Amino acid sequence: MVAEQRPDLETIDMPINMGPQHPSTHGVFRMVLVVSGEKVVDVTPHIGYMHRGGEKLMETMDFRQGIGYADRTEYLAQFSAELGYVLAVERLMGVEVPERAEYIRVILTELNRLTSHFMFAGAFGIDSGLFGTSMMFAFREREFIQDLFEEISGDRLMYAYFRVGGLAWEVTDNFVQRCHESLKTAERGIRDIDDLLTHNEIFMGRCQNIGAFTAQQAIAYGLSGPMLRASGVPFDLRKDEPYSVYPRLKFDIPVGNYGDVYDRFLVRIEEMRQSVKIVEQALEQLPPEGPIVAEKLPRRLRTPPGEVYAKVESPRGEWGVYLISKGGDKPYRLKMRSPSFCNLTALREMTIGQFLADAVMVLGSMDIVLCDVDR
C-alpha cells in the first residue's frame, strides 16, 4: 500500500543465504533462496563445499584401498557403496563370488538400507519441526543395527568389510541370531515412527502436495530410488537389473501415486518393511557353511584392461561405479554416479513457488548425503 503511494519506494525480493551452516541443509550445502515474503521465487543451489577429489583419490589407490574410500563417499549406505565398487572390480576381473558371501552381502546391504532410512526418518522429522523425537527413535534402532555391524566388521560407520571376491573375514558365530534380534528392534522402530509421524495431521498437512513431481518430470530429471518410485515409476535395480542373489528373494516395491514429499516418506517407510522381509528370507536361504572369498585370487589384485559400469540400488537410488582399467592394480578412471547428486538437481523445480518452510521439507525428502554429492 505504501509502495503505491510512494513510487520511489520499490519492493524487491529478498535473497536469503541458507547454508552452508544451517541446521537443515544436511551438511555443507548452500542454497540461495530468493523469497517474496515467505514464498520462494528462485533457488540457486551451491555444492562443492565437501569436494575432496574422491574419484581422483580412488584412482591413486589399488582395489583394496579403494573400498575404504567408497565407504566415506556414501557414509549412510556404506555397504551399498562398497558393493557397487566391489561389483565393478569383480565384473572386470571375472571373479565368481561364493554363494554364502553373496547372501551375507545382501543381508548387510539391506540392514544398511534400514539404518539409512532410519536416518532419513529421523532427520526428516527434525526438518518438519519435531523436537528431535523422531531422531531419537530412529537412532535408537539404528544404533542396534550398528552394534551388529560393529560385531561383524569391527567398525560402526566405515565398515570396509566387502572385498573383491567376497568378504574380508567370516561373520560371527551368532550372526543369524543377532540379525533376527536387530530385525525385531527395527520393526519396533518402524512402528514407533509410524505412530509418531505418519498419521499425524500436522505432519500430513506439512507434507502433502509439497514438491510434487510427475512420473515424466521425475524421469526427465534422472531421479532414482525412492524419489522416482514416489512419483509412480516402479523402477528398482534389485528387480529390473538384478545383481547378487536378489532374484531369489521375494519382495515388493512400494510405488507412490502423488510424487509429493509425503509419498517419498511413505515409500521409504514401506521400503524398510520390505527390507526386513528380504533379510528374513536371506537368513533362511543363507548356506550355513562355505567359503566367503573367491578362490585363486591373487594377493595383488590386477584387472585386465577394459571398462565396466556396475550399479546397485542404494537407499538413495542408483549408485553406480564406472571403471576404466588399462591393466594394473589401479583404476585408470573411476566415475561414481551418485543418486544424491542426480536427485538434488530437481531441487529448483520442486521448490519454486513453495513456502520457505517447504524448501526445507523438499530438501529433507531428497535424503541427500552431501559427501556423496560433492565427492
Binders of other proteins among residues 341 to 370 (CB under 8 A) are: 355-358, 360
**With respect to other proteins, which residue has the nearer C-beta, 7 or 240?**
240
Nearest distance in Å: CB 2, other proteins: 15
In 13-111, at which residue ranges do the beta strands (DSSP E only) sit?
14-18, 30-36, 39-46
Nearest distance in Å: CB 95, other proteins: 8
Spatial contact of 72 and 81, defined as CB atoms under 8 Å apart: no
Burial (CB < 10 A; 0-12, 13-18, 19+), residue 291, is: middle
Binders of other proteins among residues 196 to 225 (CB under 8 A) are: 196-206, 208
**With respect to other proteins, which residue has the nearer C-beta, 7 or 199?**
199
By CB under 8 A, name the one of 74, 90, 367, 374 that touches other proteins: 90
Nearest distance in Å: CB 179, other proteins: 15
Binders of other proteins among residues 313 to 332 (CB under 8 A) are: none
Nearest distance in Å: CB 138, other proteins: 11
Residues comprising the chain, all counted: 375
Binders of other proteins among residues 248 to 307 (CB under 8 A) are: 248, 250-258, 262-263, 266-267, 270
**With respect to other proteins, which residue has the nearer C-beta, 40 or 346?**
40
Nearest distance in Å: CB 195, other proteins: 4
First-residue to last-residue Cα distance in the chain: 49
**With respect to other proteins, which residue has the nearer C-beta, 44 or 172?**
172
- Residues 29-68 as x/- pattern, contact with other proteins by CB under 8 A: ------x--x----------------------x--xxxxx
Nearest distance in Å: CB 280, other proteins: 16
For residue 78, what is its C-alpha cell? Answer: 556404506
- In the three-class reduction of DSSP (H, G, I as helix; E, B as strand; rest coil), residue 149 is classed as helix
Nearest distance in Å: CB 97, other proteins: 5
User: Which residue stretches of 94-132 are H helix?
Assistant: 99-127
Q: Which long-range contacts (CB under 8 A, 24 or more apart) does 170-178 make?
A: 170/292, 171/104, 175/104, 176/283, 176/286, 178/148, 178/151
Reference 99, options 365, 284, 310, 292; nearest CA is 292
Q: What b/e string do you get for 342-365 counting C-beta neighbours within 10 Å, with b at 16 or more?
A: bbbebbeebbeebbeebbbbbbbb
3 near other proteins, judged by CB under 8 A: no
Residue 74 and residue 162: Cα distance in Å, rounded? 15
Binders of other proteins among residues 98 to 127 (CB under 8 A) are: 99, 102, 125-127
